[in-house]
Structure 1
Amino acid sequence: MASRLRGALLPDLSPWRSSRDFRLLWVQGLITFFSSFMAMVALPLQIKDLTGSPLAVGIMGAVELVPLVVFGLYGGALADAVDRRRMLVITEGGMAVMAVILLVNALLPTPALWPLYVVAAGVSALAGLQRPALDSLMARIVPHDQQTAAAALNALRWQLGAIAGPALAGLVVAYAGHATAYTTTAVGFLVSVALCSRLSPAPPAHDAEKPSLRGIAEGARYAWSRPVLLGTYAVDLAAMLFAFPNTIFPFLADELDAEWSLGLMYAAGSVGSLLLSLTSGWTSRVRRHGLFVVFGAAGWGLAIAAAGWFTNIWLVLLCLAFAGAGDLLSGLGRATIWNQTIPEALRGRLAGIEVLSYSVGPQLGQVRAGAVAGWTGTRAAFWSGGLLCVASVGLLTAALPKLVGYDAATDEDALRRRAQKEGTAAEAAL
């Protein structure tokens, strides 16, 4: 009984055992996350030290958004046309170069401000190019029936980086300076390049088209024609648009007379998703992944609404942790559906569209939260956004019933993708 309970709760390690490339990417990703968080903390702190202006720090977000969207869409088309391993090696190497530029600038007697914005835009562009290749690679290297387990393990990797990375980065910057942080970042990316170079080649199909606007439009048309896929994008976008209140956390902490809790507010969501990752073994046995998307997003909205109602800071933090768990559950469903249904020839372009929804939703959500907080108050911005999230998920569920009805064992696209993958594996074995 105890062993069955552990098996149902502990993370499913099947992808780790069955795929050498998954192990390499998992370790590479963990190193990259730590390296990235080192720069993510050091860079805005250096802008603050140089200018003393909150506006100057905030401009960095605007500088990063456009390259992420543009290069994310182009990177999706590129991922379908070139070797994805090569894209990972080149983009990780490019990020190492960006870190070296920051290091050289930090070592100058008087560091300049403009290189910090140039590097921020450059890193955002490289991330946009890389993410579709990285996301689309998972369907190739992980067996069809292990996609949910792989998504849970990848989420666990991200959470370890998100929780420990900023804390470690803050200590390094505080006690060793910006130059040491940038050196650590550069070394981490160089190690990542070495790991990526050991991956198996991931060439495109022999008849793959060159990247073009027509190719990107073809991917968008495919997503629009598939209600299940369209539902995953729409639900995620709605949840982030209406219930992403991170930008007003400082104001909520002030209203609750708990300024000391601000860091905990930012970390609570990651803690909640980490706890779900550590008890995610049961998710590998579920076939109705559309339910993950819907219930996870609705749970996220309810938890955010509850955070706006409670006045006890510990209950607020508990709600934010539940919100993080709901967000992860929805993310597991989305990742599984994408990797089980999207044809190999379109996977990169669809991943590029996912980058678009991933980046635009939270940005618009922060604008909504700030505007509503200024109009009706901070707590009202929380609960109204959470309830709008739940309502929008309900409307989308009614409009796209195939999302809720998705079953990995019966869905035509999932069965077709499974057959294609098994045929490719059989050819490789001959």
Structure 2
Amino acid sequence: MSDRTDDKPPAARKRLGSIVIDRRPLKIPAFRRLWISSLVTAIGSQLTAVAVPKQVFDITGSSAYVGLTGVFGLVPLLIFGIWGGAIADTVDRRKLLVVTNTGIAVTACLLWAQAYFDVGSVWVVLSLLAVNQAFFAVNMPTRNAVVARLVPTELLPSASALTGTMTTFGAVFGPLAAGALLPIVGLSVLYLVDSVALLVVVWAVWRLPALPPQDGRVRRAGLRDISDGFRYLGAQKILLASFVVDIVAMVAGMPRALFPEMAERTFGDPAGGGLALGWLYAAIPLGAMLLSLMSGWASRVSRHGVVVVVAIAVWGLAIAGFGLSQALWLSILFLVVAGAADMASAIFRMAILQTAATDEMRGRTQGVFTVVVAGGPRVADLTHGWAAAGVGTGAAATGGGLLVLVGLLVAVLLIPAFWRYRAPVTSGNVSDDS
């Protein structure tokens, strides 16, 4: 057999490796444990995200009370996301993960208990949701800040893609699992499944290596640490731009508040909901998941700023196309493309945050990232709802997509260094005990 023939299998594997998601970060034991624990948390959080509104509606029969779940979930994220980032910069991040994951697991157990014993109080459910989200808000920036201590710099885009795959997997399949299980096992068992999974997560983060501040100073976080973080962000144009462009993309372009009305009035769903509604909600996470699974190229890209800008431009164009489309299949296609573009943006924005921020500020920047990611789409729900009431759903979506392009252009003109940003060529710090 010729040498050329012998080379075909390795060449084929190389081509495949350049397309499918880069799994090299998973060879690092500590990152693998963190990733698996994040996967469990993502799916479990989606089970709770379905169970809590369902229980609130069952108790009250009111969509207005269901709307309160957004308030009780967002306010703790806004407050504790910022504070949690400051704490993550001043203590051993492994210990903080253990504490916050324990808190998330305990509140999940309490949600199961109130459902099992049929307490029937909407305020108990909402209060437990708020406490759960407070722990989650501290946990997320800490979890994200840990990655750069476990993974070399050149693998950070791949690690971000793996994390994105986990998140979108939970966003797609968590609600589907909840919808399938609810009629069979009921709310209390759904909460119980989440509780057991979260207890396993506590064990996984316990196995991580110690991750104290690199200067060795463990102390209490105060308001000065938070203000220092904002001053740091104000002076770091690259980091500031990464947040600005994401806010532009989400606030102007996220159309999910329009889905219920469009499903019924544009695509012919029955009043109680149907196939179109499910596809509209699933399409963006589906596109994000497909892109992350085919992200083997990410670790070889150095022009991170260019990729983020182009990805957000594609997002805006796809959302504008979604608003103009009248066929369900075409609308879903536009949303899948938008989801893929959003994931490409997220992969490289996360990599920028991991590399452009110093380790002593990484928790605080991740705290702001958590607030932006959580808050932007919720603000979009409000703005798109108001816009649709005035000009209609299609015009609201299309106008939002076009506003993304305008806002993105302004941001790049004001902070041109973001467009020019390249990934650093040196390796980052990796924990010795990884």
Kindly indicate whether residue 179 of structure 2 is the aligned counterpart of residue 165 of structure 1.
Answer: no
User: 1:210 maps to what in 2?
Assistant: 220
User: 2:165 maps to what in 1?
Assistant: 156
In 1: Cα distance, 2:344 partner to 2:218 partner: 34
User: 1:129 maps to what in 2?
Assistant: 138
Amino acid at match of 1:22: F
After TM superposition, give the deviation of residue 3 of structure 1 in Å: 3.0
1:111 to 95, 99, 120: 120
Q: How is 1:277-288 mapped onto 2 (pairs within 5 angstroms)?
A: 277-288=292-303
Is the contact made by 1:28 and 1:192 (CA closer than 8 Å) also made in structure 2? yes
After TM superposition, give the deviation of residue 239 of structure 1 in Å: 0.7
**CA 286–110 in structure 1, closer or farther in 2 if over 3 Å, else same:** closer
After TM superposition, give the deviation of residue 120 of structure 1 in Å: 1.1
Q: How is 1:26-425 mapped onto 2 (pairs within 5 angstroms)?
A: 26-204=35-213, 205-207=215-217, 210-259=220-269, 260-409=275-424, 418=427, 421=429
Is the contact made by 2:157 and 2:348 (CA closer than 8 Å) also made in structure 1? yes
In 2: Cα distance, 1:48 partner to 1:114 partner: 12
In 2: Cα distance, 1:41 partner to 1:318 partner: 25
TM-score using structure 2 length: 0.93
Q: Deviations over 1:157-211 (max 9, x none)?
A: 1122111111111222211111111111110110100111111111123235531
SS at match of 1:281: coil
Amino acid at match of 1:171: A
TM-score using structure 1 length: 0.94
Q: Deviations over 1:99-145 (max 9, x none)?
A: 12112211225522211000111111111111111010001001111
In 2: Cα distance, 1:312 partner to 1:301 partner: 19
User: 2:5 maps to what in 1?
Assistant: none
RMSD: 1.6
Is the contact made by 2:86 and 2:364 (CA closer than 8 Å) also made in structure 1? yes
Structure 1 unaligned spans of 5+: none
Seq. identity, %:
35
In 2: Cα distance, 1:142 partner to 1:284 partner: 12
In 2: Cα distance, 1:320 partner to 1:55 partner: 28
Q: Deviations over 1:38-94 (max 9, x none)?
A: 111111111111111010101110111111111111101100111111111111111
Q: Deviations over 1:217-276 (max 9, x none)?
A: 111111111111111000001111101111110111123233231011111011111111
Amino acid at match of 1:265: L
Is the contact made by 1:265 and 1:317 (CA closer than 8 Å) also made in structure 2? yes
How many equivalent residue pairs? Answer: 418
In 1: Cα distance, 2:116 partner to 2:292 partner: 40
